[in-house]
Structure 1
């Protein structure tokens, strides 16, 4: 059962499923963290049976009050000033994205922020936004696609095969990668992720297990992809032990599918009910990590992140078998997630919404577009950026604008010019929708160093 007291322990004891559990966990974590779980549960039971006796008690008073009368939800106001922040490539970032960050920087829980050079307007935090908070997590700040990530595998296969055996490589993507809401693999692989305690202990996660099992190894819609391309290793001193030169690579981009989307929806709703904010920033409602809901979201978020990794592992494992080769290198990273990290000597929750972790010597892959190269990078651990970098080139045009501005002929022309084959994809993902990745990389030279590139050649997206 473990020694740490959780919300489910209080529920078993008979506590009502309301904010009294969050208050109890907050008080216990604040005042009784080091005491035996059994002793705390004994006291909690006494409080539950006769809350009137404990009103005014230094430790249990707030809990007792929550049991005796409904808890009033506090209205939080934004601060008048912003916490410290940095913006990279400011001239290339639209004003809407900046103002989204400015609002987040005034939250009472905000500690520090940053905006990456691929930033653009998004939901919750701006895409490319990074926010450190004090012991609180913002579910909508993490985002709907929890643990959305990049994964690159590198193979010791001559790059000439991409042309010489192009038809075979195309068929691998056509027949063995699945996208969107309806497509699943006929033969489903089991995975250790499905034996995690969260699938039995958290009611929401338990209900989502079948969906997660069906969607393992599949990708979402929109800008998600699986692609073959050319990897050029340009740095002799690399972590893979690879010689400089060209290799075949497989790059995938997708997240935690229906599992993550449902987790985000559920806990964002709980946060907005518990944390009232001015209307324009209500979507940035947070969960205190000392509360039951905060702790449960943290568990669920981490499960979703691990599930996203499991999906990528499944995708790359299937492709490796079909190629008939084992990867000699693998680079992967989340970009919609929250981490516990030290900021200015204090543990904080660092939200990265469409931003790549870039701690000192941490590896990452930052894609461009379906016709532009991506970059294999090593983090420089820049504290002003909260040890982060861009997660891609970033959109220059919205999806709606792309449909107004470009045609299928425009895309075909770009693909032909860059010798790229596209399977699926829509006008909203046109190469021209994205910023110039080389400018983006130039604007983050103090955040990452480049070890190599990945150039797409055969790209599969949702229809």
Structure 2
């Protein structure tokens, strides 16, 4: 004899999704259980749903029963466990944000990288795997922000011998913040159908064209430096030794920022979460809005890559050299990947470097400390991820209030670094010790080489004009 909706109403269920789920699950999963035992089991669930929140079969019913009567989606009572790398160097705010993310009903797994610090929604340095859902703020505002390095067979002593020439190259061929090129280079990215099919993207096309090949503000940079290859990188045919290199860090400019803002609002309107989790609102990938965001996010990621490629093309032309190799990766993005059981998951890396087995990447330090070329080890517990940099140890506001320009100048001089632009908020002292960060993630990546900045250009250099 099968249960009916009226039977469940008599033991405390009300008309709605929980009742339907209970009927469906109990008849499918407990077919051999007598009628009275089925009713008794569901009575326990409706009277105390919290105790069934982790039940292999009845958890969906319990979760629905715990959902507030309004349209706010309840978080799970207990969050899933997650791995933390370098926990003693991570601020409490980032840990709290990660714990909240692990309580989302769509969360499958998570990990926190050693450069983690507090952000909006998911902490920067947070990795979150979800089930068929994408979180715009789990990707971040600067969609597809990435690292890109080109390596040259040029004697490294040229950086000192012809320092003014290299500075001139940077000043004439890079733009930051609100500055753009008078004659932007065209790119095939603008032929993509998303620029005509998605409204928010279509509205941004002219601005995206104007900003192509430029870099954002904040911690974005283009710099010359010295690469020291310690282990042969077969993928790039790079033997151990010293090389001159160009390293850039930037993202998808106004295009990505507006996509992020638009779809975050859409997600927050459709997916109402408690106050502490509101920035983690998600879009179901089976919905039109979810598919739109996925297409727009991927376009923004490709646009970010196009910007970097134009930066490096300009550098190559100025150097009159063809690079030996290019290494790049992005770190504000969501990927469709497989878990250990072969199930598809959506992996958000908000300020985290992909570190699947054999995957090359770049983890920078600060303007006056080394970065590293790495190869991922594919550790499942880290969700195939590593840090995306050193990570901040103080906020931008605190850095401006407490760091003295004289101290920065001394640090740069001792490191042998020439700086064009930047503010006190990007001072090396505002960042964690990159060597300690790398030590925390030895099981995540293999270090193949280092990069030491020598001539750095960042935003905040309006006084510098193009020179002949």
Which band: TM-score by shorter chain?
A: 0.7 to 0.9
Provide the C-alpha distance between the structure 1 equivalents of 2:443 and 2:345, rounded to a whole number of angstroms: 23
Pick from 443, 448, 458 the counterpart of residue 446 of structure 1.
443
| TM-score, length basis structure 1 | 0.83
Q: Is residue 371 of structure 2 the alignment partner of residue 374 of structure 1?
A: yes
Query: 1:319 — aligned with what?
Result: 315
The correspondence of residues 232-311 of structure 1 with structure 2, limited to 5 A, is: 232-236=228-232, 238-311=234-307
Distance between the aligned counterparts of 1:243 and 1:338, measured in 2? 33
TM superposition shift of 1:74:
3.8
Instruction: Select 1:196's aligned residue among 164, 172, 192.
Output: 192
Task: Answer yes or no: is the 8 Å Cα contact 2:111–2:128 preserved in 1.
Answer: yes
SS in 2 for 1:384: helix
Larger mean CA deviation between 88-97 and 382-391 belongs to 88-97
Aligned residue number for residue 226 of structure 1 = 222
Partner of 2:397: 400
Residue-by-residue CA offset, 1:301-325 (whole Å, 9 max, x unaligned) = 0000000000000000000100011
Instruction: Measure how far apart 1:148 and its partner are.
Output: 0.4
The separation in 1 between residues aligned to 2:70 and 2:297, in whole angstroms, is 24
Task: From the superposition, tell whether residues 423 and 283 of structure 1 become closer, same or farther in structure 2 (CA, over 3 Å).
Answer: same
Partner residue of 2:202 out of 202, 206, 214: 206
Q: 2: CA distance between counterparts of 1:386 and 1:237?
A: 24
* Aligned-partner Cα distance in 2 for 1:319–1:380: 32
Q: Distance in 2 between matches of 1:281 and 1:446?
A: 31
SS in 2 for 1:239: helix
Q: What do the CA deviations read for 1:6-51 (whole angstroms, capped 9, x no partner)? A: xxxxxxxxxxxxxxxxxxxxxxxxxxxxxxxxxxxxxxxxxxxxxx
**Is the aligned partner of 1:174 residue 2:165?**
no
Residues of 1 paired with 2:116 and 2:269: CA distance?
Answer: 29
Q: CA RMSD in A?
A: 1.0
* 1:352 matched to 2:355: no
Q: Is the 8 A contact 1:340 1:347 kept in 2?
A: yes
Matched-pair contact (CA < 8 Å) for 1:73–1:275: no
SS in 1 for 2:236: coil
* Matching of residue 186 in structure 1 with residue 172 in structure 2: no
Where does 1:75-224 land on structure 2 (aligned, <5 Å)? 75-181=72-178, 183-224=179-220
CA distance in 2, matches of 1:73, 1:169: 61
Q: C-alpha distance in 2, partners of 1:186/1:404?
A: 36
What's the CA shift for 1:369? 0.5
The answer to whether the 8 Å contact 1:238/1:451 transfers is no
CA distance in 2 between counterparts of 1:166 and 1:321 reads 17
Mapped partners of 2:409, 2:227: distance in 1: 24
The structural deviation recorded for 1:447 is 0.3
Which residue does the alignment assign to 1:69? Answer: none
In structure 2, the residue matched to 1:55 is: none
Structure 2 partner of 1:363: 360
Distance 1:309 1:90 in 2: 32
1:237 is displaced (CA, Å) by 5.1
Alpha-carbon spacing, 1:80–1:248, altered in 2? closer, same or farther (3 Å):
same
**SS across alignment from 1:439:** helix
Count of aligned pairs: 391
Q: 2:309, 2:134 → 1: CA distance?
A: 27
How does the TM-score come out when normalised to structure 2? 0.83
| Structure 2 alignment gaps of length 5 or more | 1-68, 461-468
Please give the alpha-carbon distance, in whole angstroms, between the structure 2 residues aligned to 1:431 and 1:343: 37
Q: Which consecutive residues of structure 1, in runs of 5 or more, have no partner in the other structure?
A: 1-71
* 2:388 is aligned with 1:391: yes
Give, in whole Å, the separation in 2 of the partners of 1:355 and 1:74: 33
Partner SS for 2:235:
coil
Q: State the 1:176 CA deviation.
A: 1.1
Aligned equivalents of 2:329, 2:71: Cα separation in 1: 37
Radius of gyration: which is bigger? 2
Q: SS of the counterpart of 1:124? A: coil
Q: Residue deviations 1:55-88, cap 9 Å, x none?
A: xxxxxxxxxxxxxxxxx98421000111231000
